[in-house]
Chain A
Amino acid sequence: MIKVNDLHKSFSGEEILKGIDTEFIQGKTNLIIGQSGAGKTVFLKCLLGLILPTDGTIEYDGKAYSTLNKEQQRELRKKMGMVFQGSALFDSMSVAENVMFPLKMFTKQRKEQRMERVREVLDRVDLLKVDNKFPSEISGGMQKRVAIARAIVNKPQYLFCDEPNSGLDPKTAILIDNLIHEITKENNITTVINTHDMNSVLEIGENIVFLKDGRLEWQGDKSIIYKTDNESLTSFVYSSDLFQKVRKAQLQGL
Chain B
Amino acid sequence: MRYLHDIGEYFIMLKDIFRRMTKPSVLKTLIFKEVDDLIINSMGIVIFISFFIGGVVTIQTALNLNNPLIPKSLIGFTARQSIILEFAPTFISIIMAGKVGSYITSSIGTMRVTEQIDALEVMGINSLNYLVLPKIVAMLLYPFVISIAMFVGIGGAYMAGVMGGFVASDQFLEGLQNDFIPFHLAYAFIKSFIFALILATVPSYHGYYMKGGALEVGQASTTSFVWTSVILIIANYILTQLLLS
Contact = CB atoms under 8 A, between A and B. Distances in A.
B28 interface: no
Interface in A64-79: 74-75, 77-78
Q: How large is the interface on A (under 10, 10 to 19, 20 to 34, 35 or more residues)?
A: 20 to 34
B115 A88 contact: yes
A80 B122 contact: yes
B5 interface: no
B116 interface: yes
B122 A102 contact: no
Contacts of B116: 88-91
B238 interface: no
Contacts of B118: 50, 82, 84, 88
Interface residues of B, number: 15
Given A77-B124, A105-B26, A88 B20 contact: no
Contacts of B123: 77-78, 82, 101-102, 105-106
Contacts of A56: none
B23 interface: yes
Given A74-B20, A105-B23, A86 B125 contact: no
B214 interface: no
B16 interface: no
A2 interface: no
A133 to B, nearest CB: 18
Contacts of A74: 20, 124
A17 to B, nearest CB: 19
Nearest to A85: B115
Contacts of A75: 124
B35 to A, nearest CB: 15
Contacts of A48: 122
A238 to B, nearest CB: 31
Given A88-B115, A104-B26, A82 B122 contact: yes
A91 B23 CA distance: 21
Contacts of A91: 110, 114, 116
Contacts of B122: 48-50, 77, 80, 82, 160
Nearest to A160: B122
**Interface-centre pick from B26, B119, B121 (highest chain A CB count, 10 A):** B119
B26 A84 contact: no
**Interface-centre pick from A88, A104, A106 (highest chain B CB count, 10 A):** A88
Contacts of B110: 91
B127 to A, nearest CB: 11
A153 B200 CA distance: 33
B115 A84 contact: yes
Contacts of A85: 115
Interface in A134-159: none
Contacts of A90: 116, 119
Interface of A: 48-50, 74-75, 77-78, 80, 82, 84-86, 88-91, 101-102, 104-106, 160
28 contacts: A48-B122, A49-B122, A50-B121, A50-B122, A74-B20, A74-B124, A77-B122, A80-B122, A82-B118, A82-B119, A82-B122, A84-B115, A84-B119, A85-B115, A86-B115, A88-B114, A88-B116, A88-B118, A89-B116, A91-B110, A91-B114, A91-B116, A102-B123, A104-B23, A104-B26, A105-B26, A106-B123, A106-B124
